[in-house]
Amino acid sequence: MSQAFMQCFPSLVLALSSLLGALALLQLSLYLRVPSRYGKHEERLCRPRGRLPARCAWFLQELPSFLVPALLLALRSPPRLEPLGCRLLCCLFCWHYFYRTFIYPFFTRGRPFPLQLLFFGMLFCIYNGFLQGYYLIYCAEYPNDWCTDIRFTSGLLLFLLGMGINIHSDLLLRQLRKPGEVTYKIPQGGLFTYISGANYFGEIVEWFGFAIATWSLPAFAFAFFTLCCIGPRAYHHHRYYLKTFTDYPKSRKALIPFVF
């Protein structure tokens, strides 16, 4: 590992986190009116030229989010083993992306994914994987009793709750299709009873939980990015369902149960 990254540069963390916040706002302004062009929103918009099977695309896209922090952790010399809070937090991030890279893609029944978005998605995952991993492995300082701090425990609880909702909702979506099918149906069960974007709601709760547990600028910037990225997408999914299915439950909201 190059000597350059063997210590913490707070200004680098600040610059990368601020850029992530700016990308979040750009994301919001771009995708509030027009949804990002993959999945159910691709057919309504122009068709991109190249596409890759969903399994392969999601695996390649998410891999850097797992690999970059895992490599940073492995290459850290001497290894950072203390405090326990640091190790746990880094493992939480890698745990999510282990699921998203090695489990989620192999069960997805989604449509082929646009190559252009895959490229930008990969770049984003390298960027964010580096920022979160670098901060936790080289910069974060937690007291030894961080694991009993209310921020850590409540954040961890939110993270686990969000992850549970996200995985369960992704499973419900997957079960709507038989292998080989590409049609859309009305999602039922779990939090889909109340909202159209149950999987997104889970993911947003998860990353805000992570931000609270780490109490760090990079993690709050990522949680904000997630909100700006998949929040509008949940809204567009909701509108799509209302337009497509005349029997779509009228009481169902887009992203926040009973509110929005």
For ligand NDX, the binding residues (CB under 6 A) are 23, 26-27, 30, 36, 39-40, 54, 108-111, 117, 120-121, 124, 166, 170, 173, 176-177, 182, 184-185, 187, 199-200, 203, 226, 229-230, 233
Report the residue closest to ligand NDX, judged by CB: 110
Give 142 or 254: the residue with its C-beta nearer to ligand NDX: 254
Residue 51 dihedral angles phi and psi, to the nearest 5°:
-140, 155
Give 8 or 172: the residue with its C-beta nearer to ligand NDX: 172
Give 89 or 170: the residue with its C-beta nearer to ligand NDX: 170
Helix H or strand E encompassing 3: none
How far apart are alpha carbons 119 and 42 in whole angstroms? 17
CB of 84 to ligand NDX, least distance (A): 26
Rg (CA), the chain: 19
Residue 215 dihedral angles phi and psi, to the nearest 5°:
50, 50
CB of 225 to ligand NDX, least distance (A): 6
| CA neighbor of 216 nearest in space, from 144, 100, 158, 134 | 134
Give 142 or 201: the residue with its C-beta nearer to ligand NDX: 201
Q: Are 214 and 155 in contact (CB under 8 A)?
A: yes
CB of 10 to ligand NDX, least distance (A): 24
Measure the N-to-C terminal CA separation of the chain; round to a whole number of Å.
Answer: 47
Give ∠ CA 165-240-50 in degrees, rounded to 5: 90
Helix (H, G, I), strand (E, B) or coil at 253: strand
Give 26 or 103: the residue with its C-beta nearer to ligand NDX: 26
CB of 104 to ligand NDX, least distance (A): 7
Give 76 or 111: the residue with its C-beta nearer to ligand NDX: 111
CB of 151 to ligand NDX, least distance (A): 21
Helix (H, G, I), strand (E, B) or coil at 114: strand
CB of 185 to ligand NDX, least distance (A): 5
Cα–Cα distances in Å, from 44 out to 41, 59, 154, 198? 6, 25, 41, 22
